[in-house]
């Protein structure tokens, strides 16, 4: 799994149903190591269900899904050992400090929780050292996300899943967050994010897919110094949200 070209996430004609209704209806996508993929779509398009499928929380009715070569529904524990998941509202313990949260979750994951590993990770995400021993109850959302990303760095997992990662962040925190993703990308982590933030996605993503009613209707790849045609992306995004 050290090759940047290694496929980390794959969905092929994936269908997921809730109470007989298809939420995902033929979803196909791939994410390689060292690649950032952003999935955009309106409410009800199937973004959260896609994340749930990769985490093994739902079973597919048709098609296949693999994370690091494993079926998440059949091998959930093995898959989650390879994945760091950062939800929209970061789930860390407010009564513990940043360092204590790192120690607890690293031990829970069976990873090394030595001081050097933790301090290296917290430094990498640019969390001020004065905050390392402060309780998370007083942290901003951006600071909480830095701790969550530091956990991903310290665990050295090959896959990072993100749910609306920039919601509620100010411009500086968003810029810092995007820099963190670029750092993880350089470490050959596969990053899959679902988001409503088109501009943020265009800044950091290698590919952007538009999800509508459970299927990717269009996909765009970054190219050149401008990366994406923002006006064109916005027109496609607005059309999809209106349709949804």
From CA 40, how far away is CA 237, in angstroms rounded? Answer: 8
Query: Hunting for tokens 């092929």 — which residue is that?
Result: 12
pLDDT digits (tens, 9 = 90+) for 229-241: 888 888 877 776 5
Report CA dihedral (6, 9, 12, 18) to the nearest 10 degrees: 170
pTM of structure: 0.87
Q: What does the buried/exposed string (b/e) look like for 9-34 if buried means 16 or more CB atoms within 10 Å of the residue's CB?
A: bbbeebbbbeeeebbbbebebebbbb
Calculate the alpha carbon distances from 201 to 108, 134, 164 in Å: 31, 31, 10
Q: Is 139 exposed, middle or buried (0-12, 13-18, 19+ CB in 10 A)?
A: buried
Residue 65 near residue 102 (C-beta atoms within 8 A): no
pLDDT digits (tens, 9 = 90+) for 175-198: 888 888 888 888 899 999 999 888
Residue 232 near residue 75 (C-beta atoms within 8 A): no
List average pLDDT for each run of 10 residues in the chain, which is 244 residues long. 72 92 93 96 90 92 94 91 86 93 89 88 89 94 87 87 84 82 89 91 93 93 89 79 50
């Amino acid at each position: 799994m050290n090759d940047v070209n290694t496929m980390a996430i794959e969905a092929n004609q994936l269908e997921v149903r809730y109470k007989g209704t298809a939420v995902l209806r033929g979803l196909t996508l791939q994410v390689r190591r060292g690649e950032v993929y952003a999935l955009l779509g309106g409410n009800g398009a199937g973004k959260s269900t896609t994340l749930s499928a990769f985490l093994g929380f739902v079973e597919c009715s048709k098609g296949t899904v693999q994370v690091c070569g494993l079926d998440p529904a059949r091998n959930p524990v093995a898959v989650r050992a390879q994945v760091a998941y950062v939800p929209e509202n970061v789930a860390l313990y407010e009564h513990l400090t940043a360092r204590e949260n790192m120690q607890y979750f690293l031990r829970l994951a069976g990873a090394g929780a030595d001081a050097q590993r933790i301090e290296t990770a917290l430094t990498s995400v640019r969390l001020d050292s004065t905050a390392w021993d402060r309780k998370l109850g007083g942290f901003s959302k951006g600071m909480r996300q830095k701790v969550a990303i530091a956990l991903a760095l310290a665990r050295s997992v090959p896959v990072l899943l993100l749910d609306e990662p920039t919601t509620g962040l100010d411009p500086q925190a968003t810029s810092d967050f995007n820099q963190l993703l670029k750092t993880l990308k350089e470490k050959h982590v596969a990053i899959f994010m679902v988001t409503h933030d088109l501009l943020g996605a265009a800044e950091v993503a290698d590919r952007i897919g538009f999800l509508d009613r459970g299927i990717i209707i269009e996909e765009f790849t970054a190219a050149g110094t401008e990366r994406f045609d923002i006006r064109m992306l916005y027109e496609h995004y607005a059309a999809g949200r209106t349709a949804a």
